[in-house]
Amino acid sequence: MENKNKYYDIAERIYDLDGEVYECVGSSLGRTFTGDKRTCVDSLVKLMRTKPQGHLLRSELALISNMARTIRKDEDRSRLMRKYDEILKEIAELPAGFGKVEILDENRAKLNTSNLRQKFSKDDHLIICIGRTHGSAGNDIGFALADALRINYYDAEIFNEVLRRLDAEKDSVVDVADLGTNEIENKYQGSGRTLKERLKDFDRYHGLTKEDAIFFNQSDLICKRAKEEDFIVMGRCADVILANNHIPHISIFITAPFEQRVHRVMEVNNLDHKKAERLLKKIDRQHSKYYNFYTGQKWGDAVNYDICFNSASYGIEESVEIIERMLNQHTNV
């Protein structure tokens, strides 16, 4: 009962924090949680108690913190960010808190010295693009890094929400890592859609496929954000999109040994070894197909990234510290 009360206490504070941030910002984009308090609190509790859905809770919190960082009044911004930090720490201590399932291989865990060339002028925003293999804890590392650097964090759920609020297509941005097995099989293949539906989309998107229209829509959003703020973006081919638009950024690819990733997927998704292996291969294959198609480059090839590292050699926390050290040494972070 004590744990249940703890979940509800945190959920209510998240809901209230969202309201306070909205009041201070006065944004036309609206609140993160738009339903009645009880329904929203119940949903948050469910997210906190379900490890496979941890990425959804992480995205909801990131939306609130992203908005809070835009508050003009220093006193209000500091006060609300302190509340956010307190909530984040308490979530991390929960049994099902995101970032709880480690990727560290202690036999490989030796600190390496790395270097990063300075790529940013004083007028450029710090943009970090992170690609990752499934099960390597890339999303956990990206979220923790954004929080450590006090910059915004964007993943598939957040892009979907922002585009929806800008009257774009709902459910337009989906990360294959967050789809169910059946959904992954259908993604980018148009299966189950009638000819009439396809022709309707063809007309709606001015001759482009729906997937192409979505890609260009999110590409515009990434470039627009890059001119306005510092942030971390997960996937979305953001590294190549920014490079093609001559926007300075740092590209990182995170991976880990296959078997290490399989065991992490088993624990996070409560799957047996065979199902976890099948899911991991399928998601990696879809990520690769998407990236290769829209960029013409090979997903995961080290020559296409500034930094590639094995998260099993460091674990989540130390991976964040290593990237931070490189940034502090070679940029104006």
Residue 55 confidence (pLDDT): 65
pLDDT tens digits along 99-113: 556 565 555 443 333
- Check whether residue 329 and residue 230 sit in a common domain: yes
Sheet holding 231-234, edge to edge: 152-154, 231-234, 127-132, 250-255, 307-310
Range of lowest pLDDT (15-19, 137-141, 195-199, 214-218): 195-199
Residue 213 confidence (pLDDT): 75
- Check whether residue 28 and residue 90 sit in a common domain: yes
- Check whether residue 288 and residue 330 sit in a common domain: yes
- Check whether residue 215 and residue 166 sit in a common domain: yes
Mean pLDDT of 257-284: 95
Residue 256 confidence (pLDDT): 96
pLDDT top residue among 133 and 42: 133
Residue 252 near residue 130, CB atoms below 8 Å: yes
CA 100 to chain centre: 16
Residues in the chain: 333
The domain that contains 158 carries what CATH number?
3.40.50.300
Q: Which of 98, 120, 142 is the last residue of a domain?
A: 98
- Check whether residue 22 and residue 108 sit in a common domain: no
Is residue 29 very low, low, confident or very high in pLDDT (cuts 50, 70, 90)? low
- Check whether residue 7 and residue 143 sit in a common domain: no
CA 73 to chain centre: 28
- Check whether residue 42 and residue 158 sit in a common domain: no
pLDDT top residue among 331 and 165: 165
- Check whether residue 128 and residue 155 sit in a common domain: yes
Sorted by sequence, the CB contacts under 8 Å of residue 22 that are 6+ apart come out as 30, 31, 67
Residue 154 β-bridge partners: 233
DSSP, collapsed to helix, strand or coil, labels residue 329 as helix
Is residue 61 very low, low, confident or very high in pLDDT (cuts 50, 70, 90)? confident
- Check whether residue 49 and residue 143 sit in a common domain: no
Residue 195 above 70 pLDDT? no
pTM of the model as a whole: 0.66
Task: Give how many domains the chain has, as a whole number.
Answer: 2
Burial of 90 (0-12, 13-18, 19+ CB in 10 A): middle
Residue 1 confidence (pLDDT): 43
Mean pLDDT of 313-332: 82
Residue 89 confidence (pLDDT): 85
Residue 97 confidence (pLDDT): 56
Mean pLDDT of 77-89: 90
- Check whether residue 235 and residue 251 sit in a common domain: yes
- Check whether residue 213 and residue 317 sit in a common domain: yes
Residue 25 confidence (pLDDT): 82
Domain that holds residue 6: 1-98
Residue 201 above 70 pLDDT? no
- Check whether residue 223 and residue 311 sit in a common domain: yes
Q: Which of 98, 119, 145 is the last residue of a domain?
A: 98
Q: Which of 98, 113, 140 is the last residue of a domain?
A: 98
Highest mean pLDDT among 32-36, 87-91, 120-124, 164-168: 87-91
Percent with pLDDT over 70 in the chain: 72
Q: What is the average pLDDT value for the chain, to the nearest integer?
A: 79
